[in-house]
Amino acid sequence: MKSAILQHLRVIRFTFQRLLHTPGASLLNLIVIGIALSLPVGGYVMLKNIQGISEQMAGTPQISVFLALDTSQDEISRFRKQLKEHAAIDHIEFAPRDLALKQLQLSTGLADVIGGLTQNPLPDAFIIYPVAMDVQKLELLRDDLKSWPKFEHVQLDSSWAYKLEALLKFARLAVLILAAMLSFALIAITFNTIRLQILTQREEIEVSKLIGATNGFIRRPFLYFGLAQGLLGGAAAWLIIAISLQLLNYSLANLTHLYATSFTLSHLSLSDSISLLGFSAYLGWLGAWLSVSQHLWQIEPR
Amino acid sequence: MIKFNQVYKRYPGGHEALKNLSFEIAEGEMVYLTGHSGAGKSTLLKLIAAIERPTSGSAIVKGQNIKSLKGSALPYLRRNLGLIFQDHKLLFDRSAFENVMLPLQICGFDHRESAKRVRAALDKVGLLKREKSNPIALSGGEQQRLCIARAIVNRPSVLLADEPTGNLDTEYSGEIMNIFKSFHQVGVTLLISTHDESILRQFPARALALKAGELVI
Ligand SMILES: Nc1ncnc2c1ncn2[C@@H]1O[C@H](COP(=O)(O)OP(=O)(O)OP(=O)(O)O)[C@@H](O)[C@H]1O
Ligand SMILES: [Mg+2]
């Protein structure tokens, strides 16, 4: 048992020696793998960030209803009652036009302009908090409200967030397709690297077979090599994204400063990072395994 | 230990390298394999190590039938055989020491224990001082002896040597034969192919003579 572990450790050490044996080629491979992986993973990171920002800004959905200016107080209290009884509505707020004007006066510093008005141009408004959250039901409710008399203008707030969500769904699919294609590329890169290694070590493999090496023994260093290359390629992708985010955050800081908000783009979470490394290591291993199964049996000593 | 019964070997292309071979080698025996170039000596040794398979007949080595031996059992058969190749098959990308180390690595030996064994084997063939040399820097005779060291380091019960004294002068041949004799004395089964008559006279033992693929004695 102990000697089996020691033997594995020796193979692992040997694998890294092999990686370091041709530092230029190894580094180039890692950069290629890193860039290939950083495209879909970077896309994923951006999507996550955009989603986070949109959720933060959208808050809970609400529908604003602006009433016609000639709506009477009687009508308003009737609407209030009807809205409260509506099954799709959780609760409502009423914003009387006088109050809205006062707020406008206070908050915008347009007091002089507004003071000069002969009549209040603002309508009475209901702010409606629906029960449901999903976009279809919200749109249904909005269309229903639009058909009510005196409901002059009905607006589903944060509808942009829902449009964005639909767009993000599409982008997510694009990232997924990209990820699938580049995973395939990673497998192909490893396949080819291992193929070349097998060719250059043909004699060693032949002699090892002659003096009693099992297929497992011969296969192992190649599989470890593929695994290590995938793992390090994944780490390279992680680094590439980290550096890119750093640069983006730097220029984003200047931008958001102007709008008095602050966002920073965040990197992969710990569990996502571990998934990235695990997945890229697995792909490397898979590429090596395919290559070894394809090429090793062709080398039979004579 | 080794038992052949009506063994034929035809290479792809149709050349019949061995015809109707039947013989037996007992445990601990030392046997020569003689014959002219192309007689089939190497082919016979390759059959024993399952590098080639018989076309027909039965070849039993250490109780295993070579013809039907599974690929997964093959490495374990070979670990019991020490193979000395006509063309040495040394690896030139590593030192003499590492060449001899290879069979022990394959068997998963403890590193420190193997290092001791490698030095003992190199000492036995007189190459201890050259352990760090690349085999390419060794003379033909030294390469031959390095190949022997690699074959014996695993302490196999059977040694198969394909022309181990080919291209060597008589002094070196004698040295190598003395090494083999010392293995014979500790009970190792030996099959040595040669076309060197003087060795047979100097170190007499039973000989299997091949002529165009057939056994003549
Ligand atoms: N892989 C092969 N394919 C086809 N024919 C072969 C192959 N190997 C050997 N032969 C033929 O089989 C015959 C026996 O060859 P083998 O190598 O066994 O002879 P040998 O006795 O070892 O000769 P030498 O003393 O020159 O080494 C030869 O005629 C050779 O051409
Ligand atoms: Mg030969």
Contact in structure between A220 and A7 (CB atoms under 8 Å) = no
Q: B-chain residues within 8 Å CB-CB of A214?
A: 72, 75, 106
- Write out chain A residues lying below 8 Å of B76, CB-based: 212
Average pLDDT of B141-148?
Answer: 91
Top residue of B89, B150, B152 to mutate, by most chain A CBs within 10 Å, is B89
B34 CA to centre of ligand 2 in angstroms = 10
How far, in Å, CA of B46 to CA of A214, rounded? 18
Q: Which of B79, B108, B154 is the closest to A7 by Cβ?
A: B108
- Asked if B102's CB is within 8 angstroms of A212's CB, the reply is no
Contact B131, B97 (CB under 8 A): yes
CB A194 within 8 A of CB A292: yes
Q: What pLDDT score was predicted for residue B151?
A: 95
Distance CA B96, CA B118 (A): 10
At B24-81, the pLDDT tens digits run 999 999 999 999 999 999 999 999 999 999 999 999 999 999 999 998 899 999 999 9
Q: Indicate the residue type of B19.
A: K
Whether A6 and B110 lie within 8 Å, measured CB to CB: yes
More confident residue, A280 or B167: A280
**Contact criterion met (CB < 8 Å) for B111 and A217:** no
pLDDT of the residue at A256 = 65
Question: For A224-228, what is the mean pLDDT?
Answer: 92
Adjacency order of strands within the sheet including B206-211: B81-84, B158-162, B189-193, B30-34, B206-211, B214-215
CB-closest option in A3, A206, A214 to B75: A214
Rounded to the nearest angstrom, the distance between the alpha carbon of B42 and the centre of ligand 2 is 4
pLDDT tens digits, A163-186 = 777 888 899 999 999 999 999 999
pLDDT for B57 equals 94
pLDDT of A173: 93
- Does the domain at A62-157 match CATH 3.30.70.3040? Answer given as yes
Tokens 């507004």, located at residue: A114
Q: Is the pTM of this model over 0.80?
A: no
Q: How many residues does chain B have?
A: 217
Give the per-residue pLDDT at B209.
Answer: 94
Q: What is the mean pLDDT of residues A53-76?
A: 80
CB pairs under 8 A between A and B: 55
Give residue-wise pLDDT tens across range B103-122. Answer: 999 988 888 889 999 999 99
Asked if pLDDT for residue A53 goes beyond 80, the answer is: no
Domain spans of chain A? 2-57+163-298, 62-157
Tell whether ligand 1 has an atom less than 6 A from the beta carbon of residue B86: yes
pLDDT, mean of residues B150-160: 94
Interface of A with B in 217-276 (CB under 8 A): 217
- b/e map of B159-175 (b: 16 or more CB within 10 Å)? bbbbbbbeebeeebbee
- Contact of B81 with A189, CB cutoff 8 Å: no
The more confidently predicted of residues B149 and A128 is B149
Of A206 and A108, the structure prediction assigns the larger pLDDT to A206
Return the H-helix or E-strand segment holding A231.
helix A215-258
Handedness of CA B3, B196, B153, B106 (dihedral sign): negative
State yes or no: pLDDT of A281 exceeds 60. Answer: yes
Nearest residue CA, atom 31 of ligand 1? B38
User: Is the CB of A3 less than 8 angstroms away from the CB of B108?
Assistant: yes
Q: What is chain B's mean pLDDT, rounded? A: 92
Distance from CA of B209 to the nearest CA of A (A): 23
Q: Is the CB of B40 under 6 A from ligand 1?
A: yes
Query: Are A253 and A152 contacting, i.e. CB atoms less than 8 angstroms apart?
Result: no
| Distance from residue A139's CA to the centre of ligand 2 (Å) | 88
- For A93-153, the DSSP string reads EEE-HHHHHHHHHHHHS-HHHHHT-SS--PPPEEEEEES--SHHHHHHHHHHHHTSTTEEE
What's the pLDDT tens digit per position in B199-208?
888 899 999 9
Long-range contacts from B211-214, C-beta under 8 angstroms, 24+ separation: B211/B35, B211/B36, B211/B39, B212/B19, B212/B38, B212/B39, B212/B40, B213/B9, B213/B16, B213/B17, B213/B18, B213/B19, B213/B39, B213/B40, B213/B43, B214/B18, B214/B19, B214/B20, B214/B21
Q: How far is CA B128 from CA A204, B97, B109, B122, B169, in A?
A: 23, 9, 20, 5, 22
Q: pLDDT exceeding 90 applies to what percent of chain A?
A: 33
CB-CB under 8 Å, B51 with A301: yes
